[in-house]
Structures are given as C-alpha cells and as structure tokens.
Structure 1
Amino acid sequence: MDNGVQERLLGPEAEEEGNLKERVWEESKKIWRVALPGVLSRVSSFGTIVVTQSFVGHISGPDLAGYALVQTISVRFVNGILLGMSSATETLCGQSFGAGQYHMMGIYLQRSWIVDLITLTILVPVFIFGTQIYKLLGEQEDIAKAGGYISLWFIPFVYNFVFSLTIQMYLQAQLKNRIIAYLSIFQILLHVPLSYVFVYVLNWGIPGAMLALCTSSWFLVLGEFVYIFGGWCPDTWKGFSKAAFLDILPVEKLSLSSGVMVCLELWYNAILVLLAGYMQNAEVAISAFSIGLNINAWEFMISLGFLGAACVRVSNELGKGNAKAAKFSIKVLLGTSVIIGVFFFILCLAFGSKIACLFTSDEQVAETVSDLSVLRSFSVLLNSIYPLLSGK
C-alpha cells in the first residue's frame, strides 16, 4: 500500500503520533546535552566519598561508624554552607555573562575564593574538636574517638570545596561544564585503584583510605586550574586582580544567606544518623543508616543533574516566549527521570540484601541495611520525581 493511501486511512492520529515521537526525540537530545555532564560530574565526585566509605567499612566497625558521623554531620554541614555560598558565585557570574561583562566573571571567582577560604577556616574547629563535639551530642565514646580521628583527615579534603564548587559554577555560567564531567570521571577512575593500593597493598588502613580521597579530590581541582589558567577561558579569566578584594562584605552577606539555607536543607538526613547514635546498638545503627543514605544520595546526584537541565531548558523556552515548549520539556524530563528511577528501584529491590557487602564485612550491619532495602527502594524512586517538580 502506498504511503499516501496509508496516511488517508489512518488519519491525523498517525501523523500526530509520528510528530510526537520526533518531538520527544529532539527534546531528549537537548535535555541529555545539558544533563549528561552534570550527572556524570555529580555521580563521580560523590562516588569518591562512597568508595572511601566502602574501604573504611572493611577495616573495622567503629571506624565505619566514625566515618559515617563525620561525613554525614560535619562534612555535610560544611559542604552545605559552601555549596550555598557558591550558588551566589553562579548568580553573579551568570549575570555578568548575560550582560557581556566577561572580565567580571574572573573577579567574582577570585572574590568567592577569598570569602569561602575565610568562612571554611572559621569552620575548621568543627573537625579539630570532632571527638569532643560527638561526645557532647551523646555519641558512644569509641565511635566519637574514631570519628574525631577521621575528622582530622577530612580537613585537607574539605578545602577542595572552596575551589571545586566555585569553579564549577563559574564554568557552568559560560556553558563550559563538559570539562568538569571529564575531570570528575577521571577522578573516580583514579580514586578506586589508589584506595586499593593505599589500603590493601601498602596496608595503611584509615590514613590510606583518607589519603586516597584527598589526592583524587585535589586532582580535580588541579585539572580545573590548568583549564582556567591555561588559556581555555580567555574572555573571562584575565589573571589575578586586586579588584577581587573590593566589595567583599556584600558578597559575604549574599553567600552566607544562601549557604545557611542550603545547609538546613541538607541536614535532615544528618539528623537521622545522629539519632541512630542513641539506639541500643549505636555502631550498627549509625553504619547501616549511613550506608543507606549514601546509596540514596548517590542516586540522587542523577536527579540533580536533570534538575539543572530542567532549569536550563525551561528558562530557554520561556525566554523565547514559548510556554508550551517549556511545559513539554518538563514532561519529557519527568518521564526520563522516572524511567531511570524505576530502573534503580528494581535494582535496589533485587540486590538489597547484597549491596551492604560492598561496604562492610560486619554481618549485623549488612543485615540491617538489607532490612531497610524496601524503604530505600521507594526513596530512590521518589528521588526521581520531586527534584524536578520543586525546580519547575
């Protein structure tokens, strides 16, 4: 039968269906072009923390619980503040890029380094007095001591946030986020064998695991420095400037307000781990909760990548005055994210009892993580929906 006869017999429905498929395909390509670098960079960067937890978990139970306390409470607290403060950098750089004032982006970047360095240095006692803080919060003495020791190793690690977070916002504002994805992938590819060598081959234990984490995280920062200083941002980076030291107070106020807001949003998970420390078998409870939350958060990085794509696609279409296209983009984004969420939902249900073996040799911890697999699976599924709706 000839194509023209087919079209007449099937009517406009067939034409609309074919057109819908093309529209979905074209929109999907636009979405993935924006989302993929963000997804890869977030999954890879957070993956180094999860991989380190896996190596620490096979060293000893108290160390795993101590690592969980530091990573979930102290590091998340500091990371939340710096992440929020870095969003101020994104706002200022984005405005400068849109206005064509490219030279100001480099100045805003340097200014954010100064502000973030001062802020983080003020917060360093959170790690120096880790043992005392965890005891004050009511944690068991052996877990508090393990956490206090590990928190000292986190000090060189958290300083990478000052540069990695701000540079990410700086590059995103000028649509150069692919380099971050490439560096992040290489970061985790370096981190896994490095952790194995330091922990098992050289038998350095906790210092080896933490040294691998610090090394791979600073590799990412050094790669970003090479990209910026090497001339790949000629319009926005004009070298170091004294202007970066001017008008710091307004930037500090804007950054801190954003930082406190993001920090409060991130702390609800930390409260669960903190409360786990008051349970009868605190070591097992803290370790199990932390493993579950980190698996959940690792998958959540994918949703955050799609959230970034949603912001870009919707703002692009609304900027063109095309509200229908913006609505269609959200539908495709939501559908894609839900499909990925269902995939990980099934994966968590199918392998819920085996996932814990990657993180610990303790049978009690593994069993507790397994008991929480159904709740974790539904949490993973919901992760694929609410970030996009909240960001719409």
Structure 2
Amino acid sequence: MENETHPLLDSLLSKRREEDQQLLRLRSAASFTAEVDIEPVNGLRDFSVQFGVESKKLWYLAGPAIFTTICQYSLGAITQVFVGQVGTLQLAAVSLENSVIAMFSYGLMLGMGSALETLCGQAFGAGQLNMMGIYMQRSWVILITTAIILTFVYLYVEPLLKLIGQSDDISKAAGVFAIWMIPQLFAYAVNFPVAKFLQAQSKMMVMALISAVALVLHTFFSWFLILKLGWGLAGAAIVLNSSWWFMVVAQLIYIFSGTCGRAWSGFSWKAFQNLGGFVRLSVASAVMLCLEMWYLVILILFAGYLKNPEVAVDGMSICMNILGWVVMVAIGFNAAISVRISNELGAGHPRTAKFSVSVVVITSFILGIVLSLILIITRNQFPIAFSSNKNVRELVYELTPWLAASIVIGNVQPVLSGVAIGAGWQGLVAYVNIGCYYVFGIPLGLVLGYMIDMGVIGIWCGMLGGTILQTVMLFWLTYRTNWNKEASMAEDRILQWGGDKR
C-alpha cells in the first residue's frame, strides 16, 4: 500500500513532465537558446565556426520576421501606390496620414508593446512561460487605453495640420482620411502585444504566413476598390483597416487554439496587477522608438513648407516608403536579435548574447550594402511605380544617392536598437535619441534645407547626419556593455515582474 500512488497525482506528475519536455524542445528547436554559454572565441577559424552556428539561429528567426515586417509595411505602401494613380492631392493626403498620423500612432504603440520584447523574451529564456500571457494582457490594457486617448488626435487632424502651416486642401483630405483610419489604431493596440508574445517564443513562421495572406488580399482589394470601383480614399481606408484586423484576428485564433502551451492559459485578473511599473517600462520603450519614428515624421512635415509643397511631400514620402521597405529588413533582424539577446540573458548566457550581437551587426551591414547598390542601379525605373507626375519622379531620382546612404546606415541602426530592447536599456537609449536626432539632426536639416537652400536634399542630409551619430553612440554602448552584469539584471527583472527564481 505504501508504494501505491494516487491516480490524480500520477496524472499531474505526468502532465508536468510533458510540459517540461515541451519547454526543452521549444528552447532548443525554436528559440535556439543554448543549454550552456559558449566558450570564448579564439582565432579566425573558431570565429568562423561559431559565426556559422549563430547565423543559422539568427536566420531561423530573422527570415520569417523580415518577411512579416515587409508584408505589414507594404500594406500602407501599396495603398499609396494605387492612390498615387488617382491624383497628387489624394497621394499627399494618404502620404501625410500614413507617414505622419499613422506613423505617430504606430511608433507609440510599437514602442509601448516593445516592453514585451524584454519581459517575454527573458521570461521565455528563464523558463517562466506562465508569465508570458499575463504580460501580454497587461500590455493590452495599457495600449487599448492609449488608443482611446489617441482617437482625439485622429478627430482633429485637419485643424492640427492647418495650425502647423499645411495647405488647406491637403489638410482637409488628410483629416477625412485620418478619421476613417481610427479602426487601424485599435488594431495596432491589439496586434503589437500579440506579435511580441509570439516573437518571444520564436513563433515567427505563423506570423509570416498570416501576413502573406493579408498582403495578397490587400493588393487585390486595393486595386478593386480604389481604381476599379473608383472609391478613392474611402476604398483605401476600407482595405487598410480590414487588412490589419484580419492579421489581428488570425493571430488571436492561433494563440487561443492552445498552440502556445503554458505561455497562454487564458485571461486572468493578474493582468491588472503591477500596472504602474509596467506602464513605466512601456513608456520608456515607447519614448525610445517614438523619438526615432517621429524624427522622420517631423522631417516630412518640414518638406511641406518648401516651394511646391505637394511635389516636395510626395517625393520625400516616396523615398521614405522605400527606406521603410528596406529598413523592414533591419527591423526583422531587430526582432531576431531582441529574441536572441533576451532569451540568452534570461538563461544566464552572457557570452552567447555578446557574440550574437557581433553576428547580426556584420550580417545587416553587408545586406545594407547589397540593397543600396540595387537601388542605385534601378534609380531610373522605380519612381515610375509610385507617381505619374514627372516633377515628383525627378525629385526621387535626385534623392536616390542619399537614400542609398541612408539604407546602409539604416540597416545597422535598428539592429543595435534591438540589442537595447533585448537587454532592457530603453530609458538610456531615449536620451541618446534626443541628443542625436533633436539636438543635432533636425537643426542640421533645417539649416541645410532652408538657410543654405538645399531644399529636400538638405532636410534629408540632416536626417542622415542624426542617424549616423545615433548609430555610432549605440555601437559604443554595445561595445562597452558588461554582459555578465546584464545576465544578472535579467534574472532580477523576471523576479520583479512576478516570475519564480531559477
């Protein structure tokens, strides 16, 4: 009798063993979190071997992440391509809403959701799967509340644009389009926590598949509603809103179906605990990323004050769209390195985290060179796809060399930001961004664009100067990092947010 066990106890023990085995499989096959920290790299041969091993882990994550970000970014860009065939006023309206209003909201929501990259990534690396769903729900509470507040900004876009000196026609058209795009704002609020939740578990492929389907449907219905039926801006709003909500609903169905194991165990009142501290981390993440994204927004607004503002805004917006498409590749690496850094620090592997940084920086820099060369070779062809206006196409042609230089730098900078997010440095990097972008970059762009009369090219050079300075600063911070200390801080952070001690 003493050796007999209760059937219920046997069942619980068996279930626990299955969950532990599932966790080991996830950590080894999905996130590639190493069981032990790597040995110090000695010599070129050892570096080459370790580089190859880490590259496989990186591309396993980065490949689907890059594809996902390109698909999602392409939704707005494709809409602009079709609207550009309708007229310059309509293109300017959509460009302002996409590049200013939506980018403002996108940056804020993405930034606040990026708190989960630190928390979920380090919790996963430490084996604290049960906390990941709680973190996601806390993020939903914060982001949906933020979306409600931002709704008032969308309602008053027209007077706000007029207040800062935009033309009446562009302000009116952009204001109407912004009101129609309010559903997209709430899609952002739900989507970004979901994306970071899945990303931390290395579930990139399902996100890529959902985004691919959304892109195909979006392209067809954009053509059908905007050009075929002639619905113009109304058609563009319907398709954009529907595409974003399609991705959100599909991802939620995937999570709720039980595919995430202990990471999602249902809704919980714990989501409303520790909200104050969670808000602080979310705000720090938001400030860090928003300062980067709003930097580009402000420069596009300055282009609206130049001579022939429709051409200036259209030309700069097209180049920003192309830069955005290419930077989506870097943001894919940003997501991948954030997962690698947070997982490895959460698992207590500082040397592996440090080596991952070296691999991703080298890879992204080489890729940026290749992409910039492709752009320069095709500089006579690609402007035709974005506008039927000859003056706009000529301006894009003139900006192409500067755009190519931005691609090289812009392919490395988001990667270093991903390192910062994975390690939890959001507050520090926010100060770096203020100095590089707003104290240096914007004043330089204004001097070159207006005082030296370089126009759009001068504004772009100011943007590039600020980005270069910020990249150098992030590189220096990464180089000087004590990764052993960061691994220790990762464990403390997990305990602070409700996890168990390893």
TM-score (norm 1): 0.88
User: How far has the Cα of 1:187 moved from its partner?
Assistant: 1.6
Name the counterpart of 2:81. Answer: 54
Which of 190, 214, 222 is 1:163 aligned to? 190
Name the counterpart of 2:104. Answer: 77
Name the counterpart of 1:297. Answer: 324
Which of 192, 199, 203 is 2:230 aligned to? 203
User: How far has the Cα of 1:175 moved from its partner?
Assistant: 2.6
> What SS is found at the alignment partner of 1:334?
helix
Matched, 1:266 2:293: yes
Q: Separation in 2 of the partners of 1:130 and 1:210? A: 16
What are the ranges of 5 or more consecutive residues in structure 1 without an aligned counterpart?
Answer: 1-15
My pick for the range that moved more, 138-147 or 64-73, is: 64-73
My pick for the range that moved more, 338-347 or 60-69, is: 338-347
User: Is contact 1:353-1:369 (8 Å) kept?
Assistant: no
User: How far has the Cα of 1:145 moved from its partner?
Assistant: 0.8
The structure with higher relative contact order (CA 8 Å, sep 6+) is 1
Q: Separation in 2 of the partners of 1:317 and 1:254? A: 20
User: Is contact 2:72-2:215 (8 Å) kept?
Assistant: yes
Q: Which amino acid aligns with 1:158?
A: L
Name the counterpart of 1:138. Answer: 165
Which of 253, 259, 266 is 1:232 aligned to? 259
User: How far has the Cα of 1:221 moved from its partner?
Assistant: 0.5
Matched, 1:187 2:214: yes
User: How far has the Cα of 1:19 moved from its partner?
Assistant: 7.0
Q: Separation in 2 of the partners of 1:96 and 1:197? A: 45
Q: Separation in 2 of the partners of 1:80 and 1:230? A: 30
Q: Which amino acid aligns with 1:216?
A: S
User: How far has the Cα of 1:21 moved from its partner?
Assistant: 5.7
Task: Give 1:1-392 correspondences, 5 Å limit.
Answer: 22-313=49-340, 323=351, 329-389=356-416, 391=419, 392=478
Q: Separation in 2 of the partners of 1:23 and 1:193? A: 44
User: How far has the Cα of 1:166 moved from its partner?
Assistant: 0.5
User: How far has the Cα of 1:316 moved from its partner?
Assistant: 6.4
Q: Separation in 2 of the partners of 1:316 and 1:99? A: 7
User: How far has the Cα of 1:353 moved from its partner?
Assistant: 2.8
Q: Separation in 1 of the partners of 2:304 and 2:337? A: 38
Q: Separation in 1 of the partners of 2:204 and 2:242? A: 22
Q: Which amino acid aligns with 2:257?
A: G
Alignment deviations for residues 244-279 of structure 1 (CA, whole Å, 9 cap, x no partner): 234433323332232233212211111111111111
Aligned CA-pair RMSD: 2.4
User: Is contact 2:121-2:343 (8 Å) kept?
Assistant: no
Q: 1:333 to 1:264 in 2, by over 3 A?
A: closer
Q: Separation in 2 of the partners of 1:67 and 1:228? A: 33
User: How far has the Cα of 1:326 moved from its partner?
Assistant: 5.7
Q: Separation in 1 of the partners of 2:136 and 2:416? A: 30
User: Is contact 2:118-2:342 (8 Å) kept?
Assistant: no
> What SS is found at the alignment partner of 1:235?
helix
User: Is contact 2:80-2:94 (8 Å) kept?
Assistant: yes
User: Is contact 1:46-1:298 (8 Å) kept?
Assistant: yes
Q: Separation in 2 of the partners of 1:118 and 1:309? A: 28
Q: 1:352 to 1:322 in 2, by over 3 A?
A: same
What are the ranges of 5 or more consecutive residues in structure 2 without an aligned counterpart?
Answer: 1-42, 420-477, 479-502
My pick for the range that moved more, 261-270 or 42-51, is: 261-270
User: How far has the Cα of 1:311 moved from its partner?
Assistant: 4.0
Identity %: 38
Alignment deviations for residues 53-104 of structure 1 (CA, whole Å, 9 cap, x no partner): 1111111111111112112221111111111211223333334434544333
> What SS is found at the alignment partner of 2:263?
coil
Q: Which amino acid aligns with 2:361?
A: L
Alignment deviations for residues 126-161 of structure 1 (CA, whole Å, 9 cap, x no partner): 111111010001101111111111111221112111
User: Is contact 2:125-2:343 (8 Å) kept?
Assistant: no
Q: Separation in 1 of the partners of 2:119 and 2:174? A: 37
Q: 1:274 to 1:17 in 2, by over 3 A?
A: closer
Name the counterpart of 1:10. Answer: none
User: Is contact 2:218-2:243 (8 Å) kept?
Assistant: yes
Q: Separation in 2 of the partners of 1:331 and 1:31? A: 11
User: How far has the Cα of 1:313 moved from its partner?
Assistant: 4.3
Alignment deviations for residues 288-325 of structure 1 (CA, whole Å, 9 cap, x no partner): 111101110110111122233334445667767574x6
Alignment deviations for residues 190-232 of structure 1 (CA, whole Å, 9 cap, x no partner): 2111211112222221111221111111111011111011111
My pick for the range that moved more, 363-372 or 102-111, is: 102-111
User: Is contact 1:111-1:248 (8 Å) kept?
Assistant: yes
User: How far has the Cα of 1:17 moved from its partner?
Assistant: 8.0
